[in-house]
Amino acid sequence: MTAASSQPQDILPWADPEFIANPYPWYEKARTEWPIYRALDGTFVVTRYNDVVHFGKLPSLSIVDPHGIPRGPWAVLKDTVLGLDPPKHTEVRRRGNKWFTPKLVKEWVKLSEAFVRATVAKYAEGEVFDANMYLGVGPTHAAMCGALQLPDDNFEPVIRSMHGTMAALSHVAGEKENKRATDAFDYQFARVRKMLEWKEQNPGTGMTDALLEAERNGEITRSEIEQTLVLFWASGGHNPSYIISSGIEHFARHPDVWQAFRQHAELRNGIINEIYRLYPPELTFARWAREPLEIQGQRIEVGEAVKFIVGAANRDPSIFPNPDELDMHRPPDGAMHVTFGMGPHQCAGQIINQAEAAIIFDTLAVLVEGFVLEGTPEMDNSDRSRAYERLPISLIKVKS
């Protein structure tokens, strides 16, 4: 047995409920014994931090699945950054980048702050509510809608539809998961088309207005507008809300960390970075080789798939000592987590994502003395993604 064996192996049991609930023991074994291996379907799986960082950003690795662009229900977003490689990817990404500069994002996240303040005011001390929906999803969805200048109401079914779309990205997605995702995308596109009708009657100066102007100028099609808006509007609360909710659950289980966050502003960036490292909402990303390459002695041919395990890289003990612990004193100039992905396909929303996390936790630090976990969190997890269905929390409020 060698780490570079080309024989298919069943190292990460993608469909095992225990693996889905807590994949980290399996990641540790793979990282130690099989840093790269060929899964039973032929995909090469890479788990060590240095390999993920180095190879995950190679331009010779494509985001485009040669068997579909992308495969399955997600093909409905084939004209977005999720289905394109440079140089077309660069052109499409540029449409959104100018709406998510640090300066503009400061304006959008004011909506997140207002939402959090309203939520804390709404619930009495000790009253149980779903912190994921009303401290995670709602505030982050509001910020994204601010950038798009679209209505931010009726957001609860949006996040549930995102859970449906993510199911199809599982390594072992089948007919049931694909049907769930197809129905979810149908819902999202229907909502977006209604909002475009509304926007044409209520013009403004947001990203949606700029997209409609580009359509009038013949620069993009209506289909491209719809796909772009589904990507930003529907997913705007998904990954950020998982980060927020993971942080709240961690603070509830480790009140000393929350008090350190509240009382020591200089520790806040480090604590938030550790939340991103420990709790990535997307555990893997896949690429396809456009040129032959070699990783850890294993040759990968053109067209073969490579899956990079973000969750394993983020807890690589050779990079992050005591990798399963939140270390608020971890050196700020050390290695960074890979939660936002690698290379040209890094998360397009990472600037607003980070700004949302900062302002939401900063606002909570002013208003909330502590969090109380009021039951077992309900999850919608897979081998590919993590999401809260419900996070039952009550608050200990700061006395005015």
Q: What are the residue boundaries of the structural domains of the chain, listed by start?
A: 17-397
Q: Say which residue the tokens 């939401």 belong to.
A: 360
pLDDT, residue 400, reads 76
Angle between helices 350-367 and 102-122 (to 10 degrees): 40
pTM of the model: 0.95
Q: Which DSSP letter does residue 396 get? A: E
pLDDT, residue 7, reads 67
| Residue 276 in tokens | 């991103």
Contacts of 147 (CB under 8 A, 6+ apart): 99, 100, 104, 105, 108, 206, 207, 232, 352
Q: Is the dihedral of CA 341, 339, 136, 169 positive or negative?
A: positive
pLDDT, residue 68, reads 58
Given a contact cutoff of 8 angstroms between Cβ atoms, the answer to whether 120 and 397 are in contact is: yes
pLDDT, residue 347, reads 80
Please give the CATH architecture assigned to the domain spanning 17-397: Orthogonal Bundle (1.10)
Q: Say which residue the tokens 């485009």 belong to.
A: 64
Pairing of strands 44-46, 305-309: parallel
pLDDT, residue 117, reads 98
Which residue ranges of the chain lie beneath pLDDT 70? 1-8, 68-71
For residue range 171-218, list pLDDT tens digits in order: 999 999 999 999 999 999 999 999 999 999 999 999 999 999 999 999
| Residue 194 in tokens | 């209604």
pLDDT, residue 72, reads 85
pLDDT, residue 2, reads 43
